[in-house]
Amino acid sequence: MLVQWLALGAWAVSWLTSDGGGEHSMPPLGHDLRVYWTVSWLTTHLGAMSAFHPETLDAAQLQFFPAYTELGHWLYPPTFQWLIQPLSWLPYSWTYAIYVTVSVVLFALAVMQWRRWAGWPWLVVMAFPGLWVAVLVGQNSIMTLLLMTVALSQSGARPLLAGVCAGLLVIKPQFAVLLPLWWLCGKQWRALGAMVLTGGVCCVLTLLWGGWALWEAFFAAVATFNAEVVQQGAGDIWHAMPTVFAMARLQGATLPAAYVLYGLVAVPSVLFTAWLWVRQAPLPLRVAAAVIATLLVQPYLLYYELAWLIVPLLCLATSIDPAPSGSRHPAASRRPWGWLENLLLIVAWALPLQAYLAVLWTPMGQWGVWILPALMLLIVVRACRWTHPRLT
């Protein structure tokens, strides 16, 4: 964690001491947050639709951040665009400082319960590279991590809270598509109802705010981005995607073949997770499987979303009771192959940093293509131990 802080601090000092106006100045921290900030300014001064005009967005980014010529896209729904309007009320440096503080607090809230159950020290949890990669990039991964963690962890005890958090995932709806399936399988009717109501209200409010034309512009932008960037790899995007789909395309697979390979991993993961919710498996197994399955079903997933891995790692470190009895599992280190499980968890803990470095040095490759399915296989093994306690 100290190394990560020093790197962030060095970049921040270099940026703050540069003039910020020349093309050779230090680019700002949070290069995705700068897109949010720019869209906030455009929405306030030129109207919400201006964010979906590439020429206007590009010109504004170059105006506000001339040192950063790698321009970002705007692909978020109106629900998120409405939410980020206050960002440009402050200068970007202040916005970024507040963003970092809020992200760290949200991360601590997201992991608090599972950290206590897993028995991990706070230092190990807060040093998780996924947090600092997300902060460096300026992404909303920590916000969605909190919403998903509360939705999955509290659907039984506090279904209304869980449903509201799930409904708020309309800011990044691709991560919420499987929640109704898990809750249907687990008969979590109140959580499901609260999710539908919350998501519906958010969408209606943004319709009243921006009109249907804004939603049409969003759908058109996503379709264009999917056709040109995700499927064809424009901008070397595949090197930043720890997915089976991206790996297949990088290896020369045709588009249909890449989707088939992606489906061979995603579909079994979804079916297995649904089975866990039907069986009312222990909460750590259900939450870990649901998070990993959600990541695996995304053909388009960028490295900063691996911040979500902290929750499955904590779940896998939490003891569970076998189905027939109340005795605890023996420690993983005393099981055959326990060392291999521990090694996998260690590698997964460091995975977000590796994924970020693989963007900077592409020959390294995205290890998440293999680590995410391996984590799902580990959850399968733990589920077998739960249903058959004599398996060690």
pLDDT at 100 over 60: yes
% of the chain residues with pLDDT over 70: 88
Q: What is the pLDDT of residues 180-201, one digit of tens each?
A: 999 999 999 999 999 999 999 9
pLDDT category of residue 330 using cuts at 50, 70 and 90: very low
pLDDT of res. 322: 60
pLDDT of res. 182: 96
Q: What does the pLDDT average to over 374-384?
A: 96
pLDDT of res. 320: 79
Q: What does the pLDDT average to over 49-74?
A: 93
pLDDT of res. 1: 56
| 3-state secondary structure labels for all residues of the chain | CHHHHHHHHHHHHHHHHCCCCCCCCCCCCCCCHHHHHHHHHHHHHCCHHHHHCHHHHHHHHHHHCCCCCCCCCCCCCHHHHHHCHHHHHCCHHHHHHHHHHHHHHHHHHHHHHHHHHHCCCHHHHHCCHHHHHHHHHCCCHHHHHHHHHHHHHCCCCCHHHHHHHHHHHHHCHHHCCCHHHHHHHCCCHHHHHHHHHHHHHHHHHHHHHHCHHHHHHHHHHHHHHHHHHHCCCHHHHHHHCCCHHHHHHHCCCCHHHHHHHHHHHHHHHHHHHHHHHHCCCCHHHHHHHHHHHHHHCCCCCCHHHHHHHHHHHHHHCCCCCCCCCCCCCCCHHHCCCHHHHHHHHHHHHHHHHHHHHHHHCHHHCCCHHHHHHHHHHHHHHHHHHHHCCCCC
Q: Which two tokens stand for residue 182?
A: 């898990």
pLDDT at 138 over 50: yes
Domain ranges (residues) in the chain = 18-74, 75-387
Of 199, 201, 144, nearest to 175 (Cα)?
Answer: 144
Q: What does the pLDDT average to over 257-280?
A: 97
The whole-chain average pLDDT of the chain stands at 90
pLDDT category of residue 339 using cuts at 50, 70 and 90: confident
Q: What is the pLDDT of residues 6-47, one digit of tens each?
A: 455 544 444 444 444 444 444 458 989 999 999 999 999 999
pLDDT at 86 over 90: yes
Q: What does the pLDDT average to over 134-151?
A: 97
pLDDT category of residue 226 using cuts at 50, 70 and 90: very high
